[in-house]
Amino acid sequence: MAQQLGYTYIDTGAMYRSVTLKALQKGVLDGLRRSSESVSSLLDALAIGFDGDRVFLDGIDVTAEIRDNRVSREVSFISSLKPVRDRLKEMQQELGRQGCVVMDGRDIGTVVFPDAELKIFLVADARERARRRYAELIAKSAEGSELPDLDVLEEEIRRRDRDDAEREHAPLKKHPDAYEIDTSDLTIEQQVERVCNLALQIENDCR
């Protein structure tokens, strides 16, 4: 969508995954579960950048690493920490002020940019999302590496949705003004076309 419209794409989920990866690398997850005071060790001098579809953490390309299942299992916990959300919200708002941005994330339409011109709330059947995740893992995994069971992936997806919807800070929910699109039976091309049409309609209405 960003490519078709000539906009900048910002994957905020990748930002939370990057902080989660940093927590795993530093071995501070257990400490964070006991007390969020040590979160400053993650946020000090934190640098997250994008170059097209590549994601950089503190200057290192982590595009593949942040999609690892160990990161997926812990990202809901890290994203529930208020200091993390506050810091990344500031970074996201600064990026968004440039305008002409497609920003992807679980609280963008309700917390980060509740006044965005166009808010889309994408949903899909949990089993279909598990199939998509499984296909993604197959495409990115090394030959002979062990892959998680499809049922396990589906349960992880359901648990993450539940955790994100029930968290105290910036819970996952649909903004009243958001367009809800069920992508379960849509191809990527159909999804892009549908959202681009909405974006172009808004552009025309504003002229």
Tell me the CATH number at 88. Answer: 3.40.50.300
Residue 21 in tokens: 């990866």
Cα 63 from Cα 80, distance rounded (Å) = 22
Is 202 contained in some domain? no
38's CB contacts (< 8 A; 6+ apart) are 28, 31, 32
> pTM value?
0.76
Q: What letter represents residue 11's amino acid?
A: D
Provide the pLDDT for residue 98. Answer: 81
Is 207 contained in some domain? no
Provide the pLDDT for residue 142. Answer: 61
Helices 126-140 and 150-166, interaxial angle, to 10°?
120
Is 204 contained in some domain? no
Is 199 contained in some domain? no
CA-nearest of 109, 127, 82 to 12 is 109
Alpha helices for 80-125 (secondary structure H): 82-96
Output the CA angle 188-189-192, nearest 5 degrees: 85
Cα 115 from Cα 177, distance rounded (Å) = 9
Helices 82-96 and 12-26, interaxial angle, to 10°?
140
Bridge partner residues of 9 (DSSP): 102
Domain of 13 in residue numbering reads as 2-191
Rg, Å, the chain Cα set? 17
Is 145 contained in some domain? yes
Is 201 contained in some domain? no
- Alpha carbon 16 to its chain's center: 7
Is 13 contained in some domain? yes
Provide the pLDDT for residue 206. Answer: 52
Is 10 contained in some domain? yes
Tally of domains within the chain: 1
Q: How many CA atoms lie within 13 A of 9 on its CB side?
A: 14
From first to last of its 207 residues, what are the pLDDT tens digits of the chain? 998 998 888 999 999 999 999 999 989 888 888 887 778 878 888 999 988 889 999 999 999 999 988 998 899 899 989 999 999 999 999 988 888 899 998 889 999 999 999 999 999 999 999 999 999 888 877 666 778 899 999 999 999 999 889 988 888 899 999 999 999 999 999 999 999 999 998 876 654
Provide the pLDDT for residue 205. Answer: 65
Q: Do residues 49 and 125 lie in contact, with contact meaning Cβ atoms separated by under 8 Å?
A: no
